[in-house]
C-alpha cells in the first residue's frame, strides 16, 4: 500500500485553483532569456474562458523576443505571507503571441476592468476601448496556455 505524498495532500482542488487565479494580483512570468537562463517578470493578467492567462506587453519587449525564440514559459501566482498561509499555482505551458489590435485592446480592457475597476459597458467602457485601441498598435497580447498545473496550499498543513 502506498502512502499519499505530502505534495498531494496540500494540492489545491480545481475549484480552489480557479479561485486563486481569479483573485490573484500578479503573475510572475518566466520566459527563457537569450543566455538560456530564466527571465522572470511580474505581469497583470486576466483568465480567459478556456483557462489561459492573458497579458499584454510592448511588442518589442525582451519577453516577446524571448517568446518568439522559444514559446515555453512558466507562470506563478502566489498568496500569503507566513509559511502556513502560503498557497500558489505554477502554470507550465506555452505562450501564444497575438498582434491583432482588436484582440490586444480587448485584453487591455479586461485587465483594466480587473485591476482598475473600469467597466466595459456604457460610455466609460467605449471611451476606454477607443483609447486602448490607439495604444494597442504598439502592443501584443500574450496568452499562457497551461500544459501542467502544480499547486500548493500550506494552510492544509495545519
The three-point CA angle 43-49-50 to 5° equals: 85
Secondary structure letter of residue 121 according to DSSP: S
Closest of 67, 66, 56, 65 to residue 94, by C-alpha = 67
Structural domain boundaries in the chain: 1-38+99-153
pTM to 2 decimal places: 0.89
- How far is Cα 139 from Cα 93, in angstroms, rounded to an integer? 22
> What does residue 76 show for φ and ψ, rounded to 5 degrees?
-130, 130
Task: For the chain, 158 residues long, give each residue's pLDDT as a single digit of tens.
Answer: 555 577 788 999 999 999 999 999 999 999 999 999 999 999 999 999 999 999 999 999 999 999 999 999 999 999 999 999 999 999 999 999 999 998 999 999 899 889 988 776 666 667 777 778 788 989 999 999 999 999 999 999 97
Q: What is the pLDDT of residues 43-73, one digit of tens each?
A: 999 999 999 999 999 999 999 999 999 999 9
The grid coordinates listed for 19 are 479561485
Closest of 72, 38, 39, 37 to residue 142, by C-alpha = 72
Q: What is the pLDDT of residues 80-95, one digit of tens each?
A: 999 999 999 999 999 9
Amino acid at each position: 500500500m502506498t502512502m499519499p505524498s505530502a505534495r498531494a495532500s496540500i494540492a489545491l482542488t480545481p475549484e480552489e485553483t480557479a479561485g486563486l487565479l481569479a483573485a490573484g494580483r500578479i503573475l510572475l512570468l518566466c520566459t527563457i532569456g537569450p543566455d538560456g537562463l530564466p527571465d522572470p517578470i511580474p505581469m497583470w493578467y486576466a483568465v480567459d474562458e478556456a483557462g489561459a492567462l492573458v497579458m499584454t506587453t510592448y511588442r518589442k519587449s525582451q519577453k516577446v523576443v524571448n517568446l518568439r525564440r522559444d514559446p515555453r514559459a512558466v507562470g506563478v501566482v502566489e498568496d500569503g505571507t507566513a509559511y502556513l498561509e502560503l498557497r500558489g499555482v505554477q502554470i507550465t505551458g506555452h505562450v501564444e503571441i497575438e498582434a491583432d489590435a482588436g484582440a490586444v485592446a480587448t485584453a487591455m480592457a479586461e485587465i483594466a476592468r480587473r485591476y482598475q475597476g473600469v467597466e466595459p459597458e456604457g460610455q466609460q467602457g467605449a471611451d476606454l476601448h477607443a483609447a486602448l485601441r490607439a495604444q494597442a498598435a504598439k502592443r501584443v497580447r500574450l496568452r499562457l496556455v497551461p500544459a501542467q498545473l502544480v499547486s500548493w496550499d500550506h494552510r492544509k498543513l495545519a
